[in-house]
Amino acid sequence: MEKQENKYIKASYQLYDVTDGVQELIEQTSDDAPFSFISGMGILLESFENQLKGLAVGEQFDFKLTPDQAYGEHEESRVVDLDKEIFTVDGRFDHENIYLDAIVPLQNEDGNRFNGQVVEITDDKVKVDLNHPLAGRTLNFRGKIIESREASNEEVAAFVSQLSGQGGCGCGGSCGDGGCGCGDNSGGGCGCDGNSGGGCGCGGNSGGSCGCH
């Protein structure tokens, strides 16, 4: 069986939402602060990773990911009404953290953690959208490869340590050039597969964005 190659890749890019032919810039990195990741770790969207891992240093890329290749379709069943009392602190509603468009960390009865976006607040309910923020979107990544080489054992170990929360940001942090590969907290835009609970750019249950593609 062929050994999975772990490549250390740095790329600068712009991420656009091009759903319905309308172009909107979602996030971007630069040559000075590129997005970095190690391939084959099961963190990024497979479709995103496959587009980059075969490219050489200096090569440019321009590709689109449909919803089924990225964060799936937006499902109304994942928009839920939660009792407002869930979000009370010392008997008072937590206005500081629970407001329209806020991303809030949640946990179900099985202990699984995920993020949701507040879309409505009424007298007794908080409506939360558990879809990824980029669900239903067609995404266009444009950029170039800054570095691409085989990752060292030490780099792979450091990456795993970061993802387990032992080394710093983990997925969805703002580690930039030296981080786990999730360039920001946007909810998956960066290419994250969505199961990390952090946002970068995500295949389903997170709420952040990624360059973490």
The pLDDT of residue 193? 47
Mean pLDDT of 127-145: 96
pLDDT tens, position by position, 20-63: 999 999 999 999 999 999 999 888 999 999 999 999 999 999 99
The pLDDT of residue 151? 92
Token pair recorded at residue 33: 């602060």
The torsion angle over the Cα atoms of residues 50, 53, 59 and 60, rounded to 10 degrees, is 30
Q: How far is CA 152 from CA 5, 14, 30, 159, in A?
A: 11, 28, 24, 11
* pLDDT above 70: residue 109: yes
Mean pLDDT of 112-119: 90
Cα–Cα dist 43/192, whole Å: 6
Cα–Cα dist 35/12, whole Å: 6
The pLDDT of residue 113? 86
Phi, psi of 203 (to 5 degrees): -45, -5
To the question of pTM greater than 0.95 for the whole model, the response is no
* pLDDT above 90: residue 144: yes
Whats the size of the chain, residue-wise? 213
Return the half-sphere exposure (C-beta side, CA atoms, 13 A cut-off) of residue 54: 5
Strands (E), the chain: 7-17, 24-28, 35-38, 60-65, 79-83, 88-89, 92-93, 103-107, 113-121, 125-129, 139-150, 186-187, 209
Q: pLDDT category, 110, cuts 50, 70, 90?
A: confident
CB 101 within 8 A of CB 118: yes
Q: pLDDT category, 107, cuts 50, 70, 90?
A: confident
Cα–Cα dist 169/8, whole Å: 18
Q: How far is CA 95 from CA 80, 81, 82, 108, 119, in A?
A: 19, 17, 15, 22, 14
The pLDDT of residue 162? 81
Q: Which amino acid would we find at residue 79?
A: V
Q: pLDDT category, 4, cuts 50, 70, 90?
A: low
Of 200, 207, 151, 191, the C-alpha closest to 171 is: 200
* pLDDT above 50: residue 204: no
Q: How far is CA 99 from CA 42, 117, 122, 181, in A?
A: 33, 9, 11, 29
Neighbouring residues of 27: CB distance < 8 A, sequence distance ≥ 6: 14, 15, 183, 184, 186, 189, 190, 201, 209, 210, 211
The pLDDT of residue 181? 39
